[in-house]
Amino acid sequence: MTTPMTMPMTTTRLRPARPFGRTLCAMVTPFTESGAFDLDGAGTLADRLVAGGCDGLVLSGTTGESPTTTDTEKAALVRAVREAVGDRASVVAGVGTADTRHTAELAADAEKAGADGLLVVTPYYSRPPQEAVEAHFRAVADASGLPLMLYDIPGRTGTRIAPETMLRLAEHPRVVAVKDCAYDLLGTQRVLSGSDLAYYTGCEEFILPLYAIGGAGYVSTVANAAPGPLRAILDAFDTGDTAGAARAQLRAAPLIARMMAAGLPGTVTAKSLLTALGLPGGPPRPPLLPAPPEAAEELLAHYEELTRAEVTAG
């Protein structure tokens, strides 16, 4: 027998502070054709993303291939992107690992490299219980002076950050935001109602739904190739044009589906599109493989259709 979820009583919620902006890109980590780290390409891509409408860049997350980059590469990526964008955008460094001690070390390294915040995923594989999940995040939050964005993606980690755990963590002064990939909108609403955490969707199909109920924005893989069309969703909503926001969300849906729900990892589809557009990205590192030619052609066709539709709508 399950216990019904109780929602906290709350007054009308104002949109929370956006500690890292509202339109964040989960940036790929560019590599050369030989698989080497491409620092110059990272700076070029970061500059393009900010010019295209991103006010924050999240590095070394899932899309950034954090499992296959070294600690030295992660720190160098933060420095390169910081130099490229200056103070035009926030820089959030992914530091999550399955090891609390290693994650804390990466947090300190990211702070020294110039990051504005940290993306910290739930420890994976070991499937820690909620008490251990909470202790992990608190230890990382105490390891540097940077604010944390918790990354809730149980489909990859095997462990959810339960709403009750999230509410307790919200009491820590440096736990300020969540990247939400839990696919539990009711649980998300519970945390929104009971805390001041800034919620960023990591699932592009929820950009408008989450924003409409008080979310802070998004952290998007699709934004690597199409930052403008995604920002248009939030821009329309912020001007009171909710119908226009809905149209912008629906215009982006075919590309979102092809990039994120057609059997290939988002890293692979994002890098395929960037390569087709002549932008830095390069191949993914093994075990990931480049998109096959037919998938690459379909991705480019969906991208071109979206950009044409955006021009017509504008």
Q: CA 146 to CA 115: how far, in whole Å?
A: 8
Q: CA 84 to CA 137: how far, in whole Å?
A: 30
User: Which SS3 state, helix, strand or coil, does residue 6 take?
Assistant: coil
Burial class (CB in 10 A: 0-12, 13-18, 19+), 180: buried
- 218 included as an active-site residue: no
Sign of CA dihedral 207, 208, 209, 215: positive
Could you tell me the pTM of the whole model?
Answer: 0.94
CA atoms within 13 A on the CB side of 43: 9
Residue by residue, DSSP assigns 143-189 as: SSSS-EEEEE-HHHHS----HHHHHHHTTSTTEEEEEE-S--HHHHH
Under 8 Å CB-to-CB from 79, ≥6 apart: which residues? 113, 114
Domain spans of the chain, in order of start: 23-239
Q: Which fold has domain 23-239?
A: TIM Barrel (3.20.20)
**Which one, of 225, 310, 204, 226, lies nearest residue 272 by Cα?**
225
CA 247 to chain centre: 23
Q: CA 87 to CA 246: how far, in whole Å?
A: 31
The residue type of 245 is A
The pLDDT tens digits along the chain (314 residues) read 334 555 554 434 455 579 999 999 999 999 999 999 999 999 999 999 999 999 999 999 999 999 999 999 999 999 999 999 999 999 999 999 999 999 999 999 999 999 999 999 999 999 999 999 999 999 999 999 999 999 999 999 999 999 999 999 999 999 999 999 999 999 999 999 999 999 999 999 999 999 999 999 999 999 999 999 999 999 999 999 999 999 999 999 999 999 999 999 999 999 999 999 999 999 999 999 999 999 999 999 999 999 988 777 76
Q: Of 179, 199, 211, 303, which one is the catalytic site residue?
A: 179
Q: Of 151, 199, 200, 303, which one is the catalytic site residue?
A: 151
Contact 103, 119 (CB under 8 A): no
Q: CA 262 to CA 219: how far, in whole Å?
A: 20
Q: What pairs with residue 94 in β-bridges?
A: 119
